[in-house]
Amino acid sequence: GAGVSQSPSNKVTEKGKDVELRCDPISGHTALYWYRQSLGQGLEFLIYFQGNSAPDKSGLPSDRFSAERTGGSVSTLTIQRTQQEDSAVYLCASSSGGRTNEKLFFGSGTQLSVL
Amino acid sequence: DQQVKQNSPSLSVQEGRISILNCDYTNSMFDYFLWYKKYPAEGPTFLISISSIKDKNEDGRFTVFLNKSAKHLSLHIVPSQPGDSAVYFCAASALGSNYKLTFGKGTLLTVNP
């Protein structure tokens, strides 16, 4: 497809389990972002990848959260030992990369529910 | 602390009338502002942006106004159409970390036929 693809679209898990969320950015985009939106809140920045540079992980809320981007394309966000407060929509976005104030293209998100 | 505030959770307007969505910010380092639109079960899509060196940017039916002294921006939609019904997010970025957007909580706009 032409857009940012995220999977799964919905994930229900039990507290304490680990989850992996996947993002396929737009082909050729070198910049990739993860945001999350908790209920009633705005989008919250989590992490930013740009090319081969070290990612900006300043938005990750705890050390239970990690993300990697393999081969400069697909990214996986991993949440270990999930907690109920991790329930949110996790949104991935990509942009062409390397320029100031680029337009972000968002995927449809993964709705994570931690029971 | 909320650096980008959208104080109206919802707004309802009649088709053909003007919709005005408001946004306030507190961080004086913000120098670029954006509006995103989000339909249910979809990701946000970029609508319009404005740099802090301008006070107005227009794109078709959409105009964004920036008042730096008041740390306030607004999105005007004229004329409003039923297809404009969506959640509108205001976002801002700061010089030196322009990739990191700070979003407001959003305003649900409903345009009634």
pLDDT digits (tens, 9 = 90+) for B64-110: 999 999 999 999 999 999 999 999 999 999 987 888 999 999 999 99
> What is the number of other CB atoms lying within 10 angstroms of the CB of residue A115?
10
Q: Which residue of B has its CA nearest to A6?
A: B43
Average pLDDT over residues B37-59: 95
C-alpha to C-alpha distance for A49 and A68, rounded to whole angstroms: 9
How high is the pLDDT of residue B76?
A: 98
Distance to chain B for A59, nearest Cα, Å:
9
Q: With 80 as the cut, is the pLDDT of residue A69 above it?
A: yes
The residues with which A50 forms a beta bridge, in sequence order, are: A31
Return the residue matching tokens 């078709």.
Answer: B60
pLDDT-based confidence at residue A1 (cuts at 50, 70, 90)? low
* Cα distances (angstroms) measured from residue A3 to each of A32, A92, B84: 13, 11, 21
In chain B, helix, strand, coil percent, each to 5?
5, 60, 35
Q: Does B103 touch chain A (CB under 8 A)?
A: yes
pLDDT in tens, A8-28: 999 999 999 999 999 999 998
Residues of chain B positioned with their CB less than 8 A from the CB of A45: 100-102
What pLDDT score does A19 carry? 98
- By percentage, how much of chain B surpasses pLDDT 70? 100
Q: State the pLDDT confidence band at A98, using cuts at 50, 70 and 90.
A: low
Residue A19's DSSP bridge partners are: A79
**pLDDT class of B43 with cuts at 50, 70, 90:** very high
Contacts of A107 in chain B (CB under 8 A): 43
Nearest Cα residue to A101 out of B57, B84, B68, B85? B57
Cα B9 from Cα A2, distance rounded (Å):
32
Closest-CA distance of chain B to residue A17, Å? 25
| pLDDT range class, residue B5, cuts 50, 70, 90 | very high
Work out the mean pLDDT of chain A and round it to a whole number: 93
Q: Residues of chain B with pLDDT > 90: what percent?
A: 92
pLDDT at residue B95 in the model: 82
30-59 in chain B: CB under 8 A from chain A: 32, 36, 41-46, 49, 51
CA distance B37 to chain A (A): 11
> How far away is chain A from the Cα of B7, in angstroms, using its nearest Cα?
12
- The token duo for B25 is 């910010």
Give, in order, the Cα–Cα distances in Å from B55 to each of A33, A82, B6, B45: 29, 44, 19, 22
d(C-alpha A41, C-alpha B105), whole Å: 5
- The predicted pLDDT at position B51 comes to 93
Residue B50 has pLDDT above 90, yes or no: yes
pLDDT of residue B97: 80
- Cross-chain residue pair B103–A101, CB shorter than 8 Å: no
- Residue B61 has a CB neighbour count (10 Å cut-off) of 14
- Taking CB atoms and an 8 Å cutoff, what residues of chain A touch B103? 35, 42-44
